[in-house]
Each structure stands twice: as C-alpha cells, then as structure tokens.
Chain A
Amino acid sequence: MQAFRETVRETWRFYRKTLALVFTGTKEYYLWCLLLLCIMLIGFLCYLPQFQTGLITTNMKDQVVWGLYISNFTFLVGVAAAAVLLVVPAYIYQFGPIKEIVVLGELFAASSIMMALLFVMADLGRVDRFWHMFPGIGTMNFPSSLLAWDVIVLNIYLMLNLVIPVYLLVKTYYGKEPNKKFIVPLILFSIPMAVGIHTVTAFLYNGLPARPFWNASILAPRFLASAFCSGPAIIIIAFQILREYTFIKLEDRALFKIAELMAYAMFLNLFFLMSEMFKEYYSNTIYIASLKYLYEGLHGHNALVPWIWVGTLMNLIAFILFLFPVARERLSTLNIGCILIIAGVWIEKGPGLVIPGFVPDPLGEIYEYIPNFRELFISFGIWATGFLIFTLLMKVAIPIASGEFSHAKYMEERPPSGSKKQALL
C-alpha cells in the first residue's frame, strides 16, 4: 500500500515536471506555439458555422461528397504508416544511427494519426453521433464496412505509437532497462499495423465498384509506395529542424539511409503509376473517364490537370535526385528532394486520388470541386494542431532521450527531504 502510494506520488511528480518542461522554453518556442495556436483558433472559428449550419458551408455537393478533408486524411494515414521505415532498420537490422531517432519517429506517427482522425471528425456530418460507431454501445458494422475496419486499425496504431515511445522514454528517464518481453512484441506488432492502416485505407476506396477510378487492384500497392516516400520526407525535414533547435543526437548517416529507402519506394510508386496508365490508356474503355479528367480534363473540365502534372513532375525530379548518392547525400539537394516529394505525394494521394473518384459521378455528371476558404482554413487549423502536438511531445521526449531531463538529475538537484523510499519505477 505504501509502495503504491509512493508510485502514485512519483507519477504525479513526473507529470508535473513534464508540464513545467512544456511551459518553459525559449522565445522562439513561445512564438512558434503562439503562431500554431492562432492558426488553430482561426480554424476553429471557421468550423463553428460548418457545425451549426451544416456542410453546405463547404464546396462539397451530392456529386462530390468528399473533398479536402478526406484528401488530407488519406495523405496523413500514409505519413503515419511511414514510421515503419524507421522501425524496421532500427529494431530488425539494428542500424544504430536510426535507432537513436526511432522513438521520435513513433511520436511523429502518433501526431499524424491524430491529425488524420481530426480530419475525419471535421468531415463527419454528425460528430454528436460518433459514439454510434463504438463497439458495444453503438452498432459498428464490422466486418462488413471498411470504414469500421479503418477506425479500429487507426486507433490500435495510435495506441501502439503512444505506448511504445512513452514506455521507452519513461524507462530512460528513470535510467532503467526496458522490459524486452513487454516491448519487443509491441514493436514487432507495429510493423504489420503500419502496413495495415494504409492497406485498409486503400481498401476503403478500392472496394467500391461504383467508382472505377478507385476500383483498381493497384490502388493499395500505390498507396504503400507513396506513403514510404512522403512520411520519411517529412521526418527528414522535421528532424533537421529539431537538430537546429535542440540537443537531439542525429547523424547525417541516418538521414541518408532513409533517403536511400525512399528512392526505392519512389521507383515503385512511379512504376505502379505507369502500369495503371498503360492499362487505362491502352484499353481505353469508358472507365478511363476519371483518369482522363485528372490528367487531361474531361469535356472541357480540367481543374485538377495543372495540379497533377506539377505533382507528377515533382515526384519524378525527386526520384532522379534520390537515385544518385551524390545528390541524396548532400543536405541541400536532399531537402529539395524531400520538399518536392511532400508536395508531389500530397497532390497525388490527396486531392488527386479523392476528387477524380467522384468525377464524373455514376450518372455521368461533372461537378468540378475546388475547396473554399472555410475548408482551407479548417484544414490549416488541423495541421497546426498536429504540429503543436508534435512540438509538445518533442519538448519532453528530446530532453529525456538526450539525458538532459532525468530522474537522477532531479534527485541531484533536489535531494528528497527525509523520505526513506525513492522512486520505485
């Protein structure tokens, strides 16, 4: 009982200290958080009328029922899945330089999943009825509905990517060895789950024969290939920024290794795209309509055409850059490549995937969807939320990982006054 109370007290102390850590920082840190909070506030203010009046305040219509929100959702699921590209080299192949940042990569995946889920919430007409989907109290249509599957796997993946890094960080904080029997199975399980979230999200579209554009077997492989480019690209940029502002240990070798893996993934992505192009254009059946709308316009409607060509070109240039070790192993070209990939894959896997599925609609009508400012600002708000979550997680995780914030240090600074027992964890 005494031991239990001491554990609770120590846990509480740990929380208080992390909170103190989060609330103290440099001027840049405060400014960055303030900026994100402002964008979040604008997003929230834009969301209120959508919540009160309905989705009529967006540019979506019966012809195109999913727009910018679901585009961002799809892209972010891919980004989250990409943490596996750090986990595999770190834990399976014991590649040291990556192992040092893998915990941060997992927290990055957790932040992405939270953003993805927020985008679903923003798109959902009746957020108040979300509990209808909870198993047990609601009526989840499992296993029939892929959306039910998606909710399950995304939440499991989110839990994994919170439990694993938090456990490892707490252990590091107290200077203890992690229990391998507990954590290794979880880490191994997170690998198929990463593939799983993106496969299930692909199947969500794939399983609709009403939409020939999505009803292609290449969809899930294309999803995975592009995800293994976009996620790591963001990680590479984010970690360089962190290296600039914090004491994070990060070798360039780790970044170059990730870039090499990205080159393979981008090759597959472009190859799958080519396979799809060949099948559609050589067969030239009526089911090519959506692809035509995307790449060359259909009956004079071509809102997406410039976007997709810019996106495809970006992916192509990035691939060529990453193909040559000279280019991918120099930070300037590496970063250019990463930015090209982030933008290129966002176009391809976001609006470039979701919108053409609805154009033309099943009865042949064409409605050209372009998001309005409300949708844009709500989306910015959600991105800012994700950035803030990631920033705060890093604010605690990096000092722990670098040994700057630890229990031992705390005890040194403030010896316990008269207490016999110390930390038990």
Chain B
Amino acid sequence: MQDKPYTRREFIRHLSLAALTGLSIPLLSSCGKEQVEDFLQKHFLEMTRQEKEALITRLEERYLKKYGRRFKVSTQEAIPDTLWGYGLDLSRCIGCRRCVYACVEENNSSRRNPQSQWIRVIRLKKGSLINLEDSEHYYNPEQVPEKGFLYIPVQCQHCEEPPCVKVCPVHATWKEPDGLVVVDYNWCIGCRYCIAACPYRGRTFNWAEPSVPSDKWNTSVHYLGNRPRMRNIVDKCTFCIQRVRMGRYPACVEVCPTGSRKFGNLLDPQSEIRYVIENKRTFRLKEDLRTEPKFYYFFEA
C-alpha cells in the first residue's frame, strides 16, 4: 500500500479520535503507553507501509520485554496468482491428533486455561458421514486407528463465501487475496458473532490471556497469523500464513505421519491439490450451506 494524501475522512477520524482520547484522559492516564498505542491503532488494511513497519518494530520490542524472546513479526503479503487449497485423505487419517498438537506449537496457541486448539479431530462410526451429532470429540483409546471408526479432522475451511466475514460488525476479519481468512487481533471487539456464524467450528476465542511456556514460543510469526494473542479476541487457523507465504507447508501437513494432508495452489494446474481434485472423489463439509470451502476431503480410490 502506498502513501495516500490526507483525506477528509482521515481528518475527521483523527479529530474524533483526539476528542475520544481527550474524553478518556482520566482512564488512559491510569494505563501505560502500550494501552494507549493499542487503543489508537488503526485497522491493519488501512495502515501505510511506514505505519506497518513502525507497528512491527513496536510489537517486536514489546514481545521481547514481555516474553523475553526475540520475535520476527512478518507482514508478508499474499503471493500473486495464488489461491490456497487443502486436501485431506479420510481413508488414511488414523486419528492420532499429531496435527492438533503440531498446530498448537506452531501457532502459539494457549496451552492451558484455556486450552485452545484450531484443529479438532472427530470420530464417527463407519457407515455415517454427514450426521455430526453422532461424532465423538474426546475419544481416547490405547491405540489408533480403532476398528469400525473413521476420523475427520476439522479446522477453518477457508471458505470462498465465509459467513464469519459476512457477520463481523467491524470488518476485523476478512479474506486475503490468496484466499486465507484472517483476523486482525487488534481490531476484533470480541463479540463472538463470527463463532456463532461458523458452521465448522473454525474459530476459537481467547477466553483469557494465552498461556505459553516461555521456552515454547515459536518466534517466527506473522501479524495476521501466529503472533501472541491477547485476551478476549477471536483467532483461527490461517493455513499457517507465516509458513505458506514463505513457500513452506502448513505445520499440520508436515507433521502428518500418514501423509493424509495435501496442500497447494488451486490456480496452479500442476499442484498437488489440483491433482487430488482431478483424480480423487472429493467432497466438502456442509456443501449445502454454500460456503464454498477450499478444504477438500477425499477417499483413496
């Protein structure tokens, strides 16, 4: 984004913000500089390049002070001509939940109080696939896979018509040019309407400040992805935006021991995901809701 001239809209905004700040002086004087900076922070998409750079420096300093670790916060934009798509082979998935835990570690999700996971693996009796009411979320056998069951990992499906984006009252969540549905954690007001609107349980709420052991932080983060979150805001799977925009696979794809997880660019005819769509019998969850997920489930022919 390049610099824009000072518009009237911006002037009104600054004036109103100044007035708001003035009104809240007694409140703000009791807070630190950080709270003031946070309070006045703009929407990510409305920031200029310079503002983004200043923000990143500020965040990196703050994380160093707060967590004692040197973070690298990226704002890497979408790669042109890319539309990320995901494939999941249900005949291979053994329900081991390694993806769940790899995701938690990669994405700095809260470990305990609250425990927050972006992937949920549900277990269904063989013979049934659509009625999720019969799903078991907390299966815990000695060994997986179990006879007579199949496992469906579910995470954000990165819909082309995302209902969560539609309902957000403040545009705090949106679809990026490469199809990733992301959240500006500093803009979210915590109303949780998007969670109510999501048919896949693709979103989680930070019911408290996330707790991550200090030696467990993944310091390679993206502003719209796995950077440390704050309390009372919504976050979600971003297909590991910090990885895929650098040419790497999402953590869940990398960790899967059975190779059930496939990932690639839907616009590239040579990609793995295109191969899956053309050669396997794929389906998407709850297609009847017309959310157009970019997450394809399939069975080995």
Contacts and interface: CB of A to CB of B under 8 A. Distances in A.
Interface of A: prevailing SS: loop
Interface in A283-322: 286, 289
B122 interface: yes
Contact of A133 (B116, B170, B200): B170
B120 A363 contact: yes
Contacts of B116: 62
Contact of A137 (B13, B35, B113): B13
A357 interface: yes
Interface in B150-197: 154, 163, 166-172, 187-193, 195-197
A375 interface: no
B191 A141 contact: no
Interface in A118-132: 123-126, 128-132
B206 interface: yes
Counting chain A CB atoms within 10 Å of each CB, the highest count among B131, B166, B170 belongs to B170
A325 interface: no
B133 interface: yes
Interface in A136-159: 136-141, 144-148, 151
Interface residues of A, number: 48
B13 A363 contact: no
Given A54-B206, A137-B16, A210-B198, A360 B169 contact: no
Contact of A66 (B134, B196, B200): B196
Contacts of A364: 122, 131-135, 137
Nearest to B202: A362
A65 B195 contact: yes
Interface string B113-157: 110100010100000001111110100000000000000001000
Contacts of B137: 363-365
A56 B188 CA distance: 17
Contacts of A210: 163, 196-199, 289
B154 A363 contact: yes
A419 interface: no
A53 B168 CA distance: 24
A140 B172 CA distance: 10
Counting chain B CB atoms within 10 Å of each CB, the highest count among A125, A138, A204, A364 belongs to A125
Give the interface residue-count category, chain B: 35 or more
Interface string B30-51: 0000010011000100100000
B261 to A, nearest CB: 18
Given A54-B209, A210-B196, A363-B154, A148 B169 contact: yes
Interface string B1-32: 00000000100110011001000000000000
B205 A147 contact: no
A362 B204 CA distance: 13
B195 A136 contact: no
Nearest to B204: A62
A361 interface: yes
Contacts of A62: 116, 195, 201, 204-205
A299 to B, nearest CB: 8
A66 B192 contact: yes
Contact of A360 (B133, B193, B199, B233): B133
B31 to A, nearest CB: 9
Interface in B207-266: 207-209, 231-233
Contacts of A48: none
Nearest to A65: B192
Contacts of A253: none
A330 interface: no
Given A130-B189, A147-B191, A363-B132, A137 B12 contact: yes
A125 B197 contact: no
A204 B192 CA distance: 13
Interface of A: 53-56, 60-62, 65-66, 123-126, 128-134, 136-141, 144-148, 151, 204, 207-211, 286, 289, 357-358, 360-365
Q: Which 7 A-B pairs have the closest CB atoms?
A: A125-B190, A125-B232, A210-B199, A364-B132, A56-B207, A54-B231, A54-B208
Interface of B: 9, 12-13, 16-17, 20, 35, 38-39, 43, 46, 113-114, 116, 120, 122, 130-135, 137, 154, 163, 166-172, 187-193, 195-201, 204-209, 231-233, 289
17 contacts: A54-B231, A56-B114, A62-B195, A66-B196, A125-B190, A126-B189, A126-B232, A128-B38, A129-B188, A131-B20, A137-B16, A140-B170, A145-B167, A146-B167, A362-B198, A363-B135, A365-B135
Given A62-B205, A286-B130, 9 more contacts: A54-B231, A54-B232, A124-B191, A125-B232, A129-B188, A134-B16, A137-B13, A208-B197, A364-B133
